[in-house]
Structure 1
Amino acid sequence: MIQIRDEIAADVPAREALLDRCLGERRTAKSSERLREGRLPARGLALTAERDGEVVGSVRLWHVEAGGVRALMLGPLAVKPELQGEGVGKALMREALWRAACRGHGAVILVGDAPYYARFGFDAGLTRDLAMPGPVERERFLAIELRDGALDGARGVLAAAGETVTDTFAPAGQVAQAA
């Protein structure tokens, strides 16, 4: 049985190994990484999928803003290759979106496979006035509004927001990204 829970510090080495395995060594060269560097994930939105004490999936959401409009950036989402296709990623996505909505967040943006994320309501049309801080394939630059109109007025290049790793106070449940 898969349990989805808050990420804890002890998950970091297994999460990093999972991300390397699923996304490759060049994962840190992606434009999305520029928005995560030196930042903490949004409170309560760093999730781990666990089975029999093993980390088998991970997703995190990060604070971003554009044109004075705040949103969350999702990523990366990763599932142990042997379990892909068994609904672990779907469960992580649903939990992450539900938690984000419950915490009052209005929108989630990501770069990913459009057919996969469309099933959750993500659409490239919502990012037409936005840009990443580096190269991105437009058809993979997607968003979902958790609250109607949440991205109204969002324009320009996404910028990182939220707490930094070097902040002296990291709220309970927050885990710094491994170096």
Structure 2
Amino acid sequence: MWEFKFYSRGGQGAVTAAKILINAAILEGKFGQAIPSYGQERKGAPVYTYARIADGPIEVKSYVYRPNCVICFDTGLADLGIDITEGVRPGGTLVVNTNDPGYACPAFANVTKIDADRITHETLGEVPPNVAMLGALAKATGCVSLESLMQAVQMKISGKAGEMNAKTCAAAYENA
């Protein structure tokens, strides 16, 4: 079972990303949960979101305390004392939104860096980087296929905007 913990700030779209991820898993016949956790419900405040994907029913109904994959939308959260390595399982995967090629986090066996902000701004403008982060997540873990993810994006966001978001997701997948 994949257990994910998303670290983000309010307004970056992590809650929506978790829901889209789970919809992609369901499209593939898998089981999933998306569990948001809000703190100060305001733009810029830390937001934690959790998700699980499994091939069979998921019996546990709680936050994820021992993730095998962490998705970090903002490395600046460390300045607030937030430790993205907390509880991570040995061999864990990190998907991080950064433009720093030297970024490293030795607590993770696998680190996938993506400049999700740049990719998003180039293709969509000033919107949250969530679909780009999902593309990188799919590439880093293989937990869902890019095709299912793009379909789930277009189910959530209709029309031309959905098409452009799906293209952004694919571009991030290729760049991760």
**Which TM-score band (shorter chain)?**
0.3 to 0.5
Q: So what's the TM-score if we normalise by structure 2?
A: 0.33
